[in-house]
Amino acid sequence: MRFKRFGASLLVTGLALLGTASPALAHSELKSSDPARGASLATPPTQIKLTFSGPVTLADQNPIQITGPENASWTVGRAEVAGTVVTAPVQAVGPAGEYTLRYKVTFEDTHATSGSVKFNLSVPAPSPTSQAPTSSPAPASSAAPAPQAGETTPEDLVPTWVWIVLAVAVVVAGIVVALRFTRRKD
């Protein structure tokens, strides 16, 4: 009889552990992008937009880069974060062909990640002299942008080790309760 109670206590403790650990185990990811993955564009975009499944911050000074055929490299302005959405103005240059948008962000659970989105430009982008920039690009030597109001920084988040310590405490408390419960019945 006491083994059934002990087993039930361990089961409840395990479920509690899984319930508290699941936020730490979930990872955010890129949900959508504009331009979309695999898109074929007749005109180059003037802004890019990345939407993630959870809040993000920018991982470094140049979080977004766009490169293409013949070593084409687009000018990317200062990226802005609004919760789960990252936007940046771009000035396209280069021939028609496949382009790769690379990004680096840090998710709410403090893990940094990078990824890429490939898309096609069906016509050459105009030369920089025939197109005015949509925004002045951020200088390569500038410091990382300060967090905007309402923007989450990694320091504001609960680190993963706190979730692990909490989970261990729940397991230990469950074992202590189970042992006390079985000793009372003896």
pLDDT of 28: 72
Query: Which DSSP category does 170 fall into?
Result: H
Longest dimension (CA), the chain: 88
pLDDT of 75: 92
Taking the model in full, what pTM does it have?
A: 0.56
Q: Which residues contact 138 (CB under 8 A, 6 or more apart)?
A: 61, 62, 77, 78, 79, 145
CA distance 67 to 58: 19
Phi, psi of 100 (to 5 degrees): -125, 125
pLDDT of 42: 92
pLDDT of 166: 76
Per-residue model confidence as pLDDT tens digits over 135-158:
444 444 334 444 444 444 444 455
pLDDT of 164: 80
Q: Over the chain (186 residues), what is each successive 10-residue block's mean pLDDT?
A: 63 61 60 93 94 87 91 92 93 93 87 90 76 45 41 48 78 85 70
Q: Do the Cβ atoms of 80 and 86 come closer than 8 Å?
A: yes
CA distance readout (Å), 51 to 19, 82, 107: 27, 10, 12
CA distance 95 to 91: 13
